[in-house]
Amino acid sequence: MSDQPDEPAAPDLPPAPELPEVESPPAGDVLDDVPSREEIIAGAESAQEILAQQPSVQELLGEDR
Range of the domain at 52: 35-65
How many domains, the chain?
Answer: 1
- Return per-residue pLDDT of the chain as tens, 65 residues: 556 667 777 788 999 999 999 999 999 998 998 999 999 999 999 999 999 999 999 889 987 65
Is the model's pTM score more than 0.75? no
Residue 65 resides in a domain: yes
Residue 41 resides in a domain: yes
Q: Is the dihedral of CA 33, 34, 37, 39 positive or negative?
A: positive
Residue 21 resides in a domain: no
